[in-house]
């Protein structure tokens, strides 16, 4: 009986990993759906230091965040998936106004949710009596910690999950399901070693020596997640980044392994990448709607007025 169960687990695991590859996920690892205790302590310390700024949602649903069984009854396995998004095309080099690589194409939430639901359907068809839930960024799920536990990589000093031989330009997402599978070993080592390049280069000093990212100082918090307009008098500087920031990832030596995404999962929004300085500065609401809103760009995370404010701050 026991052997039968473990051979079923193995078959299910192999099928899930093969299907994930077919659907375009670059990495797939699986961890048992246990409570996260070490992470909880670090997270609470992070909150107590007010590193979350005004992202009030990070201070809510704490019990769910560290206990997958509260997200899904009888949760047994967390399937952690990663997709490379390193783009094949660069932004117009003459443009002063920078956007983060994660915004070069279609919104990853939309692209990955669809793929996750296909994978979940496949698991239902294959294994019958299974319940599961799919997550991309949208719920209280510790995505980087699960990826580390599922053996994908380690959490670097820059606060990003780094995959050896690949780097950190990957999106993460998960399925939590109520059947047991074969589990991967957690990624044990932190391979950042003595390197402190990301800490030194971050122009706003957002990364502490212990590897805590203080979102309140992080450029991508200031220009995306902080919904208020930037107060120039508070000394905030966006260092030419109008949406997100890649400074701490571009400098990371592990990202020399980054290879351009070749499955065209997210596409390339040429209209945005090719904008000249003048076009950025004169961006009208109509252009915002046609270039950003109507193209399912992740840049719709900020309203037109916020984008204009970011451009204004960078213009000086």
Query: Does the protein bind ligand B12 through residue 204 (CB under 6 A)?
Result: no
Report the residue from 79, 213, 275, 307 that binds ligand B12 according to the rule CB under 6 A.
213
**Position 265 contacts ligand B12 (CB under 6 A):** no
Q: Where are the alpha helices (DSSP H) in the chain?
A: 2-23, 38-48, 62-65, 108-127, 143-149, 197-201, 219-220, 247-250, 270-273, 277-281, 285-291, 304-315
- Annotated catalytic residues are 137
8 Å CB contact between 172 and 143: yes
Q: Is there binding between residue 248 and ligand B12 (CB under 6 A)? A: yes
Interface region with ligand B12, contact rule CB under 6 A, candidates 24-32, 117-125, 152-160, 253-261:
152-160
* 47 vs 43: CA distance, rounded Å: 6
Q: Which two tokens stand for residue 52?
A: 């979350």
Query: Are the C-beta atoms of 236 and 187 separated by less than 8 Å?
Result: no
297 binds ligand B12 (CB under 6 A): no
137 class by beta-carbon count within 10 Å (0-12 exposed, 13-18 middle, 19+ buried): middle
Tell whether residue 314 is a contact of ligand B12 (CB under 6 A): no
Binds ligand B12 (CB under 6 A): choice among 98, 115, 144, 149: 144
Shortest Cβ 218–ligand B12 spacing (Å)? 4
Q: Does 136 bind ligand B12 (CB under 6 A)?
A: yes
CA distances from 49 to 59, 140, 197, 288 (A): 12, 19, 23, 36
Nearest CB to ligand B12, comparing residues 14 and 138: 138
Instruction: Write out the residues near ligand B12 by the rule CB under 6 A.
Output: 38-39, 42-43, 46, 55, 58, 100, 102, 136-137, 141-145, 155, 158-161, 168, 170-173, 211, 213, 215, 218, 220-221, 225, 244-246, 248
């Amino acid at each position: 009986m026991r052997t039968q169960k473990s051979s079923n687990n193995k078959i299910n695991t192999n099928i899930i990993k093969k299907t994930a590859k077919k659907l375009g996920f670059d990495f797939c690892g699986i961890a048992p759906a246990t409570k996260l205790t070490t992470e909880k302590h670090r997270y609470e310390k992070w909150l107590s230091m007010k590193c979350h700024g005004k992202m009030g949602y990070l201070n809510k649903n704490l019990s769910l965040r560290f206990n997958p069984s509260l997200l899904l009854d009888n949760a047994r396995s967390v399937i952690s998936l990663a997709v490379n998004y390193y783009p094949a095309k660069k932004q117009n080099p003459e443009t002063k106004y920078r956007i983060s690589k994660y915004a070069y194409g279609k919104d990853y939430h939309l692209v990955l949710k669809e793929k996750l639901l296909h994978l979940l359907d496949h698991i239902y068809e294959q294994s019958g009596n299974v319940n599961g839930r799919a997550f991309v960024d949208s719920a209280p799920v510790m995505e980087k910690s699960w990826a580390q536990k599922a053996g994908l990589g380690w959490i670097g000093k820059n606060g990003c999950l780094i995959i050896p031989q690949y780097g950190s330009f990957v999106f993460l997402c998960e399925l939590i399901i109520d059947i047991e599978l074969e589990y991967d070993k957690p990624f044990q080592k932190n391979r950042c070693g003595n390197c402190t390049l990301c800490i030194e280069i971050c122009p706003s000093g957002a990364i502490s020596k212990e590897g805590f990212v203080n979102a309140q100082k992080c450029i991508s918090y200031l220009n995306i997640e902080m919904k208020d307009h930037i107060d120039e008098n508070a000394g905030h500087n966006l260092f030419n980044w109008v949406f997100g920031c890649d400074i701490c990832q571009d400098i990371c030596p592990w990202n020399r392994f980054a290879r351009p995404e070749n499955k065209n999962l997210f596409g390339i929004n040429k209209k945005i990448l090719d904008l000249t300085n003048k076009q950025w500065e004169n961006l009208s609401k109509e252009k915002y709607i046609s270039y950003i809103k109507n193209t399912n760009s992740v840049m719709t995370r900020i309203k037109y007025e916020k984008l204009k404010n970011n451009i204004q701050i960078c213009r000086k």
